[in-house]
Amino acid sequence: MTATFLILAAITIAGTVATMAMRNLVHCVLALTLGFAGLAALYLQLGAQFVGLTQILVYVGAVAILAVFVIMMTQKPAQTTESIFSSFWLAGSLIAALVFAVLGWAIVSSSTSSRPLPPQAEAAVRPIGDALMHRFVLPLEIMGLLLTAALIGAVVVAMQEKRGTA
């Protein structure tokens, strides 16, 4: 394991743990975005450029930002005085540690871990982009139009609800 991998893994784990631990929804989504970005960086480090860039575009660039806007548009900021930990945090932590130990043991003792790796298939970004822009351009454009129509419809519905309550 390299130092880069360990740093990226720590960033990914810190973002996802912060997502589960925080009470403020906006902070949770921002922490989840950090976890998504760390995962994308791990994919890029492994040489999976298409998956890493798709992770950035779809999850970091679209899903997380959409979630922030939805939360900001639909909820009033509320101050919570509750504890961030559940009353069952000790039992949950023990069960999570047990599951992690069993999965780690299963991976280490597996017979497939000693086999040589098969040669990797070439999956570069250029052939995928060429296929999307030439062979699958019509389905890609239709999907873009449907998503745009859904976004416009959501804005119209939100504006009508806002006018009705005001």
What value does the mean pLDDT take over residues 96-118?
Answer: 86
Site of tokens 């990226």: 8
pLDDT-above-90 percentage for the chain: 23
Convert the pLDDT of each residue in 39-71 to its tens digit: 999 999 988 888 888 888 888 888 877 777 777
Report the alpha-carbon distance of residue 105 to residue 116 in Å, rounded: 20
| In the predicted structure, residue 86 carries a pLDDT above the cut 70 | no
Number of Cβ within a 10 Å radius of residue 58: 13
Q: CA–CA separation, 60 vs 31, rounded Å?
A: 11
Alpha carbon 100 to chain centroid distance? 21
Q: Determine contact, residues 30/68, Cβ cutoff 8 Å.
A: yes
